[in-house]
Amino acid sequence: MPKVTDEHRDAMRTRIQDAALTCFSRKGFAGASMADIIKEADLSAGAVYVYYSSKAELTLDAGRRIMEQRAAELQDFGSADEVPPPQQVFPNLLNTILRDSPFAPLLLQVWAEASHSPDFAKVAAKIYTDLIDRFTAYLSAYFHRGAGLGTDAAEAKAEQIAPAVLALMQGAIVQNAIFGEDSRERIASAIEALLTEIAD
């Protein structure tokens, strides 16, 4: 019997997650069934259940993937020669999330699930902590090397405003979902203006 490689397992998981995310986009987390996902993945039920024993397990994995991809959008500026200002970095990050990810609207569903599902809340809390850590590291690097604050002052300012910046990003995603594509430029411009004041 041929050995199943890690690459094959990862590829299959990704294929099933892609199918799940497509179904979730179409019907929502609650509305999509495992039968829908199996059909979308074009696999047998047995093949899918080898990797995921339940819709709940698959939903958590897919939700984790969405949010971890968002966390990875912010690169580590700690060793960069130049640290761009927040009024450039965060609107660019927002545009990347909204423009390049076909599953960005599902972030709203992940947050909604986290409000009443303890398992989803744990996943969301872990990713939010990672996001805050990434935002804080970037902002600390900017305030220290880009704005000339001392190390301690830069870290303190970054820790203070990172949660608010994350809230801005979340609010922007909500507004984009409600008001549509036409609102994206207006929202990004507003965030840029606000962050320019903070960065000065």
- The one-digit pLDDT tens for each residue of the chain (200 residues) are 456 688 889 899 999 999 998 998 888 877 889 999 999 999 999 999 999 988 888 887 887 777 677 666 666 666 667 888 999 988 888 887 777 666 667 777 777 778 888 877 887 787 788 889 889 999 998 999 888 899 999 999 999 999 999 999 888 888 888 888 788 888 888 999 999 887 76
Q: Is 99 left (phi over 0), alpha (psi -120 to 50) or beta?
A: alpha
Give the pLDDT confidence score for residue 198 in this predicted structure: 79
Determine the pLDDT at residue 129.
Answer: 85
Q: Is the CB of residue 89 less than 8 Å from the CB of residue 138?
A: yes
DSSP string, 51-108: H-SSHHHHHHHHHHHHHHHHHHTS---TT-SS---HHHHHHHHHHHHHHH-TTTTHHH
Integer Rg of the chain from CA: 19
| 51 and 16 Cβ atoms separated by less than 8 Å | yes
| Torsion 80-86-92-97 (CA) sign | positive
Which pLDDT score is estimated for 1? 45
**169 by DSSP, 3-state: which?**
helix
Cα separation, 23 vs 41, in Å, equals 10
Going by the DSSP 8-state scheme, the letter that residue 145 receives in this structure is: I
**Structure pTM?**
0.77
Distance CA 149, CA 89 (A): 19
Helix (H, G, I), strand (E, B) or coil at 84: coil
Yes or no: say if 136 and 71 are a contact pair by the CB < 8 Å rule: no
Residues 6+ apart with CB under 8 A from 25: 102, 103, 105, 106
